[in-house]
Amino acid sequence: MREPIIKGEPGVDPGEPRGRQEGRKIDPVDEKLRPQSLAEVIGQRSVAERLEIALSASRKRGEPLPHILFDGPPGLGKTTFATVLHNELGVELNMTSGPALSKNADVMPYLTNAVEGSILFIDEIHRLPATVEEFIYPVMEDFRVDIVLGEGMNARTINLPLKRFTIIGATTRSGMLSGPLRDRFHMHEHLEFYDVEDLSRIITINSVKLRTTITEDAAWELARRSRGTPRLANARLRWVRDFATARSDGQITLPVARDALAMQEVDEEGMDKQDRRYLETLIKVFRGGPTGAEALSATMNVAVDTLTDEVEPYLLRRHFIVRTPRGRRATVEAYRHLGMPEPMPEINLLDPQRRLFE
Ligand code: ADP
């Protein structure tokens, strides 16, 4: 396994948006659990198959991989796929993130130092400022940067040729990416939430890596309550493993897994306190909505990005909320899940046959 070369502050995870980046160290256990080859990647089969084709073509032609954009909620494998591609090709990997590249001078060293065929991974690429984005267009198209020297009448542009390399972008918000930037990626891969079976396999494999034993039904229970997200499945597994060591003989059985999750206040659906607080705020304060993410964020005192990137995608997928042109709205399932009385359907006076509330 090759170590990725991570530029920027050593030991700081470049995958975190600025603000959450400071002080957050790369966790060696997380790195140990990360698949290193395509064969080790679980699920996302169609994505993996298309990457296999790209890898094979790149090997046969002796050319760099095409530029690839991964999008999807956090923790679904965007960084993992970039790491796997670098291992499969045996090329250098440099990692940075949109918020770390605030001006052209920040991105320049990554471009000029890139060796033939290497990979530059830019996490949270939707946060690149427009000027930096435009600066990398010619890089992505023709492997050159255009540097403007002087000002006004005396200004002239110098074209600096670069080595041919690959940019892999990752984003939790593909909608925020500008059209021209999106178009410069040759492959767009959307990562979906994982099903329980795949998460259960990930948990079982990782329990071996963590030298712990887990029964089949306990692995299934953890998988079922990990909101379709491998990163969360790993975090739950690590907590349950600590709990099993502290409270019993270290074996993760179904009762141990259930007790450990109850202690973490993870409910039957895998929702944690923050997910439930979101639904409670939407229902109790905003009478079920519709309301905007900013209003929820201000009321909950939680960053709007945290709500839109980390909390809402799974609530949407579980149909606990819906998005309408006027904002988020709680569904009947959300009321049921929280054990709250369902609202009376409002009657549309113009058309009494139609209920306004779904
Ligand atoms: P993202 O970059 O999308 O936020 P990561 O790639 O960092 O997510 O994934 C988080 C963790 O989840 C990884 O460290 C890895 O252990 C696990 N993981 C992600 N995708 C897979 C997968 N397809 N198979 C097995 N484990 C995975």
298 lies in the same domain as 253? no
In a domain, 255, yes or no: yes
In a domain, 347, yes or no: no
**CATH code for the domain in which residue 53 is found:** 3.40.50.300
In a domain, 354, yes or no: no
Can you say whether the dihedral through the CA atoms of 115, 130, 171, 28 is positive or negative? positive
Alpha helices in 113-253 (DSSP H): 130-142, 179-183, 196-209, 216-224, 230-247
| 79 assigned to active site | yes
Question: Of these residues, 13, 123, 198, 275, which one is catalytic?
Answer: 123
9 lies in the same domain as 93? yes
- How is residue 214 annotated by DSSP? B
Alpha helices in the chain (DSSP H): 28-33, 45-61, 78-89, 104-112, 130-142, 179-183, 196-209, 216-224, 230-247, 254-263, 273-280, 293-300, 304-305, 312-317, 332-338
For residue 230, give Cα distances in angstroms to 41, 109, 155, 309, 358.
Answer: 11, 33, 51, 16, 32
- Which residues form the domain of 94? 5-190
Q: Give the nearest ligand 1 atom to 74 CA.
A: 4
In which band, very low, low, confident or very high, does the pLDDT at 349 lie, cut at 50, 70 and 90? low
166 lies in the same domain as 27? yes
Residue nearest to atom 6 of ligand 1 (CA): 77
- Average pLDDT score over residue span 161-189: 95
85 lies in the same domain as 179? yes
Which residue would you say has higher pLDDT here, 154 or 65?
A: 65
pLDDT of residue 30: 84
pLDDT at residue 284 above 60?
Answer: yes
| 3-class SS shares of the chain: helix, strand, coil, % to 5 | 45, 15, 40
CA 38 – ligand 1 centroid, Å:
12
38 lies in the same domain as 176? yes
Question: pLDDT tens digit string along 132-159?
Answer: 999 999 999 999 998 888 888 888 888 9
Top mutation candidate among 231, 236, 238, 306 for ligand 1, by most atoms within 8 Å of CB: 231
CA 231 – ligand 1 centroid, Å:
6
Residue nearest to atom 5 of ligand 1 (CA): 77
| 217 assigned to active site | no
In a domain, 65, yes or no: yes
In which band, very low, low, confident or very high, does the pLDDT at 2 lie, cut at 50, 70 and 90? very low
Preceding amide of 180 cis, omega within 30? no
pLDDT at residue 17 above 80?
Answer: no
Question: Of these residues, 13, 34, 71, 78, which one is catalytic?
Answer: 78
Cα 333 off chain centre by: 26
Ligand 1 site residues, Cβ closer than 6 angstroms? 15, 30, 33-35, 41-44, 74-80, 170, 202, 230-231, 234
Q: Which pTM does this prediction carry?
A: 0.88
CA 41 – ligand 1 centroid, Å:
9
135 lies in the same domain as 244? no
17 lies in the same domain as 95? yes
Write the CB contacts of 230 (distance below 8 Å, at least 6 apart in sequence).
42, 75, 76, 77, 194, 199, 202
79 lies in the same domain as 177? yes
Q: Among residues 77, 66, 165, which one has the least CA distance to residue 123?
A: 77
Q: How many CA atoms lie within 13 A of 105 on its CB side?
A: 0
In a domain, 214, yes or no: yes
Cα 210 off chain centre by: 23
CA 133 – ligand 1 centroid, Å:
27
In a domain, 343, yes or no: no
Look at the chain and report how many structural domains it folds into: 3
pLDDT of residue 20: 32
Q: How many CA atoms lie within 13 A of 199 on its CB side?
A: 29
* Domain stops at, among 155, 170, 190: 190
- Phi and psi torsions of 43, nearest 5°: 70, -165
**CATH code for the domain in which residue 222 is found:** 1.10.8.60
Least confident residue range of 9-13, 150-154, 188-192: 9-13
- Average pLDDT score over residue span 228-246: 97
pLDDT at residue 41 above 60?
Answer: yes
**CATH code for the domain in which residue 324 is found:** 1.10.10.10
Residue nearest to atom 16 of ligand 1 (CA): 34
Write the CB contacts of 83 (distance below 8 Å, at least 6 apart in sequence).
4, 34, 35, 36, 93
pLDDT at residue 72 above 60?
Answer: yes
pLDDT at residue 8 above 60?
Answer: no
DSSP string, 329-344: EE-HHHHHHHTPPPPP
DSSP string, 67-83: PEEEESSTTSSHHHHHH
77 lies in the same domain as 131? yes
* Domain stops at, among 174, 190, 206: 190
pLDDT of residue 28: 85
pLDDT of residue 342: 84
* Domain stops at, among 263, 283, 317: 263
Q: Give the nearest ligand 1 atom to 44 CA.
A: 23
| 231 assigned to active site | yes
CA 10 – ligand 1 centroid, Å:
21
Q: Tokens in use for 335?
A: 């009321």
166 lies in the same domain as 211? no
Mapped onto helix, strand or coil, the DSSP state of residue 171 is strand
CA 76 – ligand 1 centroid, Å:
5
155 lies in the same domain as 291? no
205 lies in the same domain as 125? no
In a domain, 308, yes or no: yes
